Amino acid sequence: MNRKASLSSRFILVLVGIVLFTASSILVVNWLGTIDHAKRQVSNELKVGIDVFQQSYKQREQTLLTTAKVLSSDFGFKRAVATGDSLTIASALANHSQRINANLMGLLDLSGNVEVMSLNGEQADVSKMKDKAPLNLELLFQQGYIADVIERDGKLYQSIYIPIEAPNPIAIAWIGFLLDQTFVNQLASLTGLGVTLMQVGLTQNNEFLLSSLTSKLVANAVASVGADVSMARNLMFGHGQFMSESIQLGSNGSTNIVLSANISELIAGFRLTTLQTLAIAGLEVILAMILGIRLTTRTVQPLIELRDAATSVADGDYQTDIKPSGNTTELIDLASSFSRMQYNIQQREKHIRYQAEHDALTGLNNRARITTIIEEQIKNDEFFQVITFCLNDFREINETFGFAIGDKCTTAVADILRISAGSAARISGGEFIWLPTQKQSDDDLIALAKRLENAVREDDLEINTDISVGVAHYPTHANSAEELLRRAGIAVHTAKLLEVPVKTFHPKQEQTYIRRLEILNELKRLLSSERNELAMYYQPKMHTASGEVSRFEALIRWNSASLGFVSPELFIPIAEKAGIIMQITEWVIRRVVMDISAWNMSNIKVAINLSVYDLTSPTLLDYTLQTLEEYSLPTSVLSFEVTESGIMEETERAVSELHRWRQAGFNLSIDDFGTGHSSLAYVKTLPVNELKIDKSFVLQLVEQPEDRVIVQAIKDLAAKFGLEVVAEGVENEESLALLRSYDVEWIQGYHISRPLPPDDVIAWCDSFKAKQRKPLLT
């Protein structure tokens, strides 16, 4: 049976198999029984038949013998034989034969030659019988008579020979019954068997045969002598099957009588039973098939239904009601297991889909999901806004307060966006997307950003974060989800750069953004390679009163092989935002220390610009001290400038870091002073010794009376706090004169010198001093 055969075909096969097995067992048992019975019955019939035959044959022999004895003791006959009175002999023979209806009566001489013969009461022509009778004369005289079957003229005779003695033998009498068709038929009706008389090999025809059976059956009957009936191949359907016994007649062994019992009739009963059994089996097979099909529908059909249900579950259809048509407990259990499985799969899939589409922390949509939502919205082909909110200091919040607080901030923003009308998503650490259902104005967005910022403000920690907002419009700015998200991102990036709360995308931003990306990538590559594209330039600061030049500001230069000259005003803020400023600062410090060491000038002091991010590093101060030590230089050769806006933004930690630098012996300046709107009272608390008036107040000092007022005011207040003042951006003699008149201590600007490469510094100093002696300034 095929392993993959369906359950229903197996059912049917098993049922049909059982039926066929039962039927054939019945048939075999029946067959064996029938054969056995038939054999016993037939052999019994045969035995009886043989007895009957032998009795009747013996009786005939006895009759012949009696007649022969009477004849041989008939005195008249003996005398006639002795005298050769042939007439008397003939009449005596005729008389005696008539009495018993013998067919043959004859007289033979002592050598066995027939002398007189009467056949059926008629005188036979003895001259034709030239051959000697095949008679054993010795046996005849010894026994007194001989009984045998004798063939004469193509006929068989049951014969008796008896000697005629007077008192010595003088002749032999022969008397016989013809063994003919009548004999055979009589015997057949007497025994109820088929009777065949046959002699083989003695006549010219080579065969003598008489039978009560029709010529068709005779061969079967004769052939079945000694055969095993049960093995007969065509027993079942053939006709005229016999069991036969052969009895030898006469002395020569070639004459036999075959008695045959026909078993076909006995078998016919079995044949009927077989046909009936087969018919019943056939019916049962049909019944089994019907039953099989019914069982299939009862048992297998519900399984098929469950299978179909499982298939539809596999195809993602979880709505199918699983109720198989069967009502057995097993099926009901199975169905409920299926339903449970279906439910569980559905739940799990829901869960997986939820996870695939949502941000694990906030439960808002994730980037993939919001992308899909935008794509769907694009199909409506109507205006909508993609808005990005960016928690600007997310990285610092995580670094400073730990991830738990960072997560709290994110969740706070998410909670508000979730209940705002539209779709919201969190796409990265501190970046959120909102697709409002209603168009939002800049004012609306500023108000919302304020709400978000307030939500972030942790009660205990007072986190002052600010949130920038970027807006992209469909279809004006892009017509794919990916581009809309990217451009809203560029817009928020620009808002951050420009330090405005909201920015709507503009193509120009993209150029700036791309340029910034290029710069950042190039810078990162530069820092991780040995390439020598960075250099330090030094701009002198002149002491106003003495005209001495012993202080410089170190300014970084980047001549990029691929981007050309990149201004520090461009790449420093990028490096700060990308968190790689520290690496640059460390490089600057080492380079400056090396240059100072090379110049070997007395009294020199070089100011290095520190980014406010540098002040968050606890190791930079140590690094600086260690580098100075390497070159055996005192702390007095370096000073540091930190922008006012940087300090204003900073937390207490940065200010306490400044204290450490001051305590280490470094001079500190507040750079770009006047742009950060810090109160002088606050500046007083900082550990600095110098203010650098921003160049925006100095460049047009001559033209702008307000600038002059501001510069004077700064100088007056600085003097009160004991701080020195540096004016940068001095481009002309007039400005210089004004600043000198305000007693500003230090002057820095193109009027004195542009920033110089390190190799030019010594030469420049020498030539500057030479010019001083000529007095340049009057």
CB atoms within 10 A of CB 558: 21
CB of 750 to ligand C2E, least distance (A): 4
**CA gyration radius, the chain:** 71
**In whole angstroms, how far apart are CA 137 and each of 113, 165, 176?**
12, 14, 18
Binding residue (CB under 6 A) for ligand C2E from 272, 290, 750, 757: 750
CB of 555 to Ca ion, least distance (A): 7
Please, which residue, 14 or 535, has the CB nearer to ligand C2E? 535
> Which listed range, 19-27, 50-58, 479-487, 747-755, lies at the site for ligand C2E (CB under 6 A)?
747-755
CB of 475 to ligand C2E, least distance (A): 40
| Binding of residue 422 to ligand C2E (CB under 6 A) | no
Binding residue (CB under 6 A) for ligand C2E from 611, 624, 627, 639: 611
> Which listed range, 198-206, 540-548, 563-571, 759-767, lies at the site for ligand C2E (CB under 6 A)?
563-571
| Binding of residue 758 to ligand C2E (CB under 6 A) | no
CB of 642 to ligand C2E, least distance (A): 9
Contact 558, 534 (CB under 8 A): yes
| Binding of residue 343 to ligand C2E (CB under 6 A) | no
CB of 605 to Ca ion, least distance (A): 14
Q: Is 338 exposed, middle or buried (0-12, 13-18, 19+ CB in 10 A)?
A: buried
Please, which residue, 188 or 572, has the CB nearer to Ca ion? 572
Binding residue (CB under 6 A) for ligand C2E from 25, 55, 189, 567: 567
CA distance 526 to 566: 13
Please, which residue, 430 or 749, has the CB nearer to ligand C2E? 749
Contact 435, 370 (CB under 8 A): yes
Please, which residue, 377 or 748, has the CB nearer to Ca ion? 748
611 binds, among ligand C2E, Ca ion, none (CB under 5 to 8 A by kind): ligand C2E
CA distance 107 to 114: 6
| Binding of residue 646 to ligand C2E (CB under 6 A) | no
Restricting to residues 511-550, which ones interact with ligand C2E according to CB under 6 A?
539
| Binding of residue 595 to ligand C2E (CB under 6 A) | no
Helix axes 181-191, 7-73, angle to 10 degrees: 120
CA distance 203 to 516: 137
Please, which residue, 173 or 620, has the CB nearer to ligand C2E? 620
3-state helix, strand, coil in the chain (%, to 5): 55, 20, 25
CB of 573 to Ca ion, least distance (A): 14
**In whole angstroms, how far apart are CA 257 and each of 109, 194, 247, 704, 753?**
31, 10, 5, 165, 160
187 binds, among Ca ion, ligand C2E, none (CB under 5 to 8 A by kind): none
Residue reference for tokens 């001083």:
772
φ and ψ at 163, to 5 degrees? -80, 145
| Binding of residue 593 to ligand C2E (CB under 6 A) | no
Contact 305, 313 (CB under 8 A): no
**In whole angstroms, how far apart are CA 51 and each of 56, 60, 178, 260, 628?**
9, 14, 21, 14, 149
CA distance 556 to 608: 10
539 binds, among Ca ion, ligand C2E, none (CB under 5 to 8 A by kind): ligand C2E
Please, which residue, 208 or 537, has the CB nearer to ligand C2E? 537
Binding residue (CB under 6 A) for ligand C2E from 364, 467, 555, 747: 555
CA distance 428 to 599: 50
533 binds, among ligand C2E, Ca ion, none (CB under 5 to 8 A by kind): none
Please, which residue, 473 or 515, has the CB nearer to ligand C2E? 515
Please, which residue, 96 or 692, has the CB nearer to ligand C2E? 692
Q: Is 743 helix (H, G, I), strand (E, B) or coil?
A: coil
Helix axes 507-527, 481-498, angle to 10 degrees: 80
CB of 613 to ligand C2E, least distance (A): 9
670 binds, among Ca ion, ligand C2E, none (CB under 5 to 8 A by kind): none
Which residue type occupies 140?
L
CA distance 65 to 46: 28
Positive or negative, the Cα torsion across 107, 113, 116, 121? positive
Residues in contact with Ca ion by the rule CB under 5 A: 609, 641, 671-672
Residue 436: cis peptide before it, omega within 30 degrees of 0: no
Which residue type occupies 653?
R
CA distance 739 to 707: 11
569 binds, among Ca ion, ligand C2E, none (CB under 5 to 8 A by kind): ligand C2E
Please, which residue, 556 or 686, has the CB nearer to ligand C2E? 556
Please, which residue, 504 or 539, has the CB nearer to Ca ion? 539
Binding residue (CB under 6 A) for ligand C2E from 140, 491, 588, 727: 588
Rounded to a whole number of angstroms, the distance between the first and last alpha carbons of the chain is 122
CB atoms within 10 A of CB 148: 20
Fill in the per-residue mask, 682 to 721: x = in contact with ligand C2E (CB under 6 A), - = not in contact: -------------x--------------------------
CB of 557 to ligand C2E, least distance (A): 7
Nearest Cα to Cα of residue 364 among 438, 403, 417: 417
How big is the site for ligand C2E, counted in residues (CB under 6 A)?
21
Please, which residue, 357 or 650, has the CB nearer to ligand C2E? 650
CA distance 120 to 91: 13
CB of 718 to Ca ion, least distance (A): 16
Within 8 A by CB and 6+ apart from 680, the residues are: 717, 721
Restricting to residues 401-420, which ones interact with ligand C2E according to CB under 6 A?
none
Please, which residue, 484 or 670, has the CB nearer to Ca ion? 670
| Binding of residue 650 to ligand C2E (CB under 6 A) | no
CB of 458 to ligand C2E, least distance (A): 31
Residue reference for tokens 């035995």:
47
Please, which residue, 315 or 569, has the CB nearer to ligand C2E? 569
Nearest Cα to Cα of residue 276 among 20, 19, 23: 23
CB of 399 to Ca ion, least distance (A): 26
588 binds, among Ca ion, ligand C2E, none (CB under 5 to 8 A by kind): ligand C2E
CB of 556 to ligand C2E, least distance (A): 4
Q: Is 48 helix (H, G, I), strand (E, B) or coil?
A: helix
Please, which residue, 430 or 729, has the CB nearer to ligand C2E? 729
CA distance 451 to 28: 99
> Which listed range, 333-341, 351-359, 377-385, 561-569, lies at the site for ligand C2E (CB under 6 A)?
561-569
Please, which residue, 158 or 667, has the CB nearer to Ca ion? 667
CB atoms within 10 A of CB 325: 11
CB of 584 to ligand C2E, least distance (A): 7
CA distance 357 to 521: 31
> Which listed range, 11-19, 265-273, 446-454, 722-730, lies at the site for ligand C2E (CB under 6 A)?
722-730
E strands of 120-205, at which residues?
122-123, 146-152, 155-165, 169-178, 194-200
> Which listed range, 40-48, 259-267, 449-457, 554-562, lies at the site for ligand C2E (CB under 6 A)?
554-562
- For 169-228, where are the alpha helices, taking DSSP H only? 181-191, 215-223
- For 258-300, where are the alpha helices, taking DSSP H only? 264-295
| Binding of residue 326 to ligand C2E (CB under 6 A) | no
CB atoms within 10 A of CB 321: 8
Which chain residues interact with ligand C2E by CB under 6 A? Answer: 539, 554-556, 567-569, 572, 588, 609, 611, 671-672, 695, 728-731, 749-750, 755
